Structure 1
Amino acid sequence: MSSLPNPPAGFTDPDVEDVTYVYAVGRDTPALHGLAARLPGVDGRPLRPVGGGGLCALVSAVPADTFSEGGLTAQMEDLDRLEAVARAHHAVVDAAFAETSVLPMRLATVYLDDARVADMLVRQRSEFQELLGRLEGQVELGVKVYADPRAVAAPEPSAGASAGAGAGRAYLRQRRAQQHSSQDAYRTASALAARAAQVAESHATARAVHRPQQGQLASRPGVNVANEAYLVPREHTERLRQELSTLADGAPGVSVEVTGPWAPYSFATALAAHDTDGGGAR
């Protein structure tokens, strides 16, 4: 699901204190209503269900000024605040997904009020119902491949290398060996990423390719050379995880990280978006 491209009309109206934050959409069932009664949302605000077209959205109130266009920009630039909002958002989605099939909404999806959420559910009923049917009984697994040349042991200078010209030649040989080790690690990681895709697609029903993660987003040392997500029938999850987790055995400087199972964040959009470059997977 995509959030609103811009805050709705009247979003910055000073008379509007709260707006409606949407976490997930599912079929209108007692399970979602019961969840809304016992689980908090962002900033501990209570959840509530909003129905329309046979569907149910889990929502909560959030401050209009904080979630206006300017307020959202400030929150996204504050990593601690962004993490707090993301944790609350994902906690609701994961709890809902444990109860029934749901479509996760993007972080900070907001509407002016509940009436507009209900109208959205009615207008997009056919799309939502089709997606819910397609994702029934399936989960998302994330697969990341890393190259870390530093993990490859560098050759030690020969014991006979002495000061002067001999030491200089030994240093240059060591530097060339390190460069070759680095190149080998990246080549191996690229080949392993292709192999991981083959293994995953033998079980998966859909694939999403995301941008490699960098800096603080990367969860392991080295360079993230592949970052993908797969939609997998729940009963295939453990087998696929085991097959992927052993791919890097015996490949120094390369590692494979498998995350999930998650709610299908990468696949709760139109099919045309499944294989496009997007934001990072969980």
Structure 2
Amino acid sequence: MTELRYVYAVCGALDAPLSADLTGVGGGAPRRIEHAGLTAVVSQVPADQFSESALRRNLENLDWLADTARAHQAVIAALTSVTSPLPLRLATVFRDDDGVRAMLEEQQERLRTSLARIEDRVEWGVKVFVEEQPAQAADDAGAGAGKRERVSAQSLGSGSGRDYLRRRRAERDGRDQVWRQAETFAQRLHDQLAQRSVETRVHPPQNPELAKSSGRNVLNGAYLVPRSESEAFVELVDATKDGGPGLRVELTGPWAAYSFSAPPEERDDEALPSAGDAS
């Protein structure tokens, strides 16, 4: 059976041996390919699953994709414990060892620059969520419910109708205030964390349905932090977790520098969302 080379990451000189128990994508054992002072960590995968045509099909298979992503991340995590790897995109595949060496040769300048930027640094993720308020949940229940409420209000006397509209206006004003407070808190937290970081990235807000997380995401930040400063960084996040009623802060990491693999000029960072973006 024809086998291809699946590349997880590129490192500098890798002195530490890979764990004999480490299993990569498709159950293959990761190994090293060295060239021009760079090390690619690879494993062999079957062509019938990882050829170009097979990948187009398999990347639509959510179970296959989840299994591959978990195995990919397991290898990256193992490398992160002993070095600062430059993670490659999921399902980066070459025909053979020579193809991997050619990649290292052709991209060595770019790879060396990126490795120097992330050396002895790890990525931390910080997210801020605004928990949905009961009034907001009622608003989101559907247009049909809103129409029924308006009909009900119209059926009331004029005094009761005015009271109803005042309540609705007060609810909207309250939600606007919550979003303004959340925006201010998220910006302040991001600024504080940026002072402890070498580089930062603001990713698009996380979709709560896909992430299976409650609340709306108002900050989805990634922070490149020296390993020696990581403890202080975590303490800073912990100290600011009590952002106020309805706000939740989540910290993840340490990770390999996924968000910082590309040079800054090639990234498409976003600004922090404003309260108006949430309406």
Structure 1 length-normalised TM: 0.79
Query: 1:139 Cα deviation (Å)?
Result: 0.9
2:130 equivalent to 1:147:
yes
- Equivalent residue for 1:13? none
State how far apart, in whole Å, the 2-side matches of 1:275 and 1:138 are. Answer: 21
Per-residue Cα deviation, 1:138-195 (whole angstroms, up to 9, x for no partner): 11111212122327899xxxxxxxx964776665444334323322222222112211
Aligned to 1:130: 113
Contact 1:142 1:258 in 2 (8 A): yes
User: Using the alignment, how far apart are the partners of 2:243 and 2:84 within structure 1?
Assistant: 39
- Bigger shift: 264-273 or 212-221? 212-221
Residue type at the aligned position of 1:104: P
Structure 1 SS opposite 2:50: coil
How far apart, CA to CA, are the structure 2 residues paired with 1:257 and 1:151?
22
Residue identity opposite 2:176 in structure 1: Q
- 5 Å matches for 1:1-282? 17-31=2-16, 34-35=17-18, 37-150=20-133, 165=157, 171-218=164-211, 220-249=213-242, 251-274=244-267, 276-277=269-270
Say if 1:36 and 1:58, in contact at 8 Å, map to a contact too. no
Say if 1:245 and 1:257, in contact at 8 Å, map to a contact too.
no
Give 3-state SS (helix, strand or coil) of 2:133's partner.
helix
Classify 1:76/1:181 alpha carbon distance in 2 versus 1 (closer, same or farther; 3 Å).
farther
SS at structure 2 position matched to 1:43: helix
| CA-atom RMSD in angstroms | 2.6
**Contact 2:185/2:243 (<8 A) preserved:** no
Task: Report the Cα distance in structure 2 between the residues aligned to 1:248 and 1:47, rounded to whole angstroms.
Answer: 39
Query: Where do 5+ consecutive residues of structure 2 fail to align?
Result: 138-154, 271-279
For structure 1, the 5+ residue unaligned runs are 1-15, 155-162, 278-282
After TM superposition, give the deviation of residue 248 of structure 1 in Å.
4.9
Higher helix share: 2
What letter is aligned with 1:18?
A: E
Measure the CA separation in 2 of the matches of 1:58 and 1:254: 41
- CA distance in structure 2 between the partners assigned to 1:114 and 1:94 by the alignment: 23
Q: Contact 1:36–1:48 at 8 Å: present in 2 too?
A: no
**Equivalent pair of 1:53/1:121 in contact (CA under 8 Å):** yes
**Residue aligned with 1:107, SS:** coil
Asked whether the equivalents of residues 142 and 260 of structure 1 are also in contact (C-alpha less than 8 Å), the reply is yes
- 92-101 or 182-191, which moves further after superposition? 182-191
Shift of the 185–62 alpha-carbon distance from structure 1 to 2, 3 Å rule, reads: farther
Mapped to 1, the partners of 2:237 and 2:175 lie a distance apart of 23
**What are the Cα deviations for residues 71-129 of structure 1, in whole angstroms up to 9, with x where unaligned?**
32333333332221111111100101101121111111111222100111122223222
Q: Indicate if the aligned counterparts of 2:83 and 2:120 stay in contact, CA closer than 8 A.
A: no
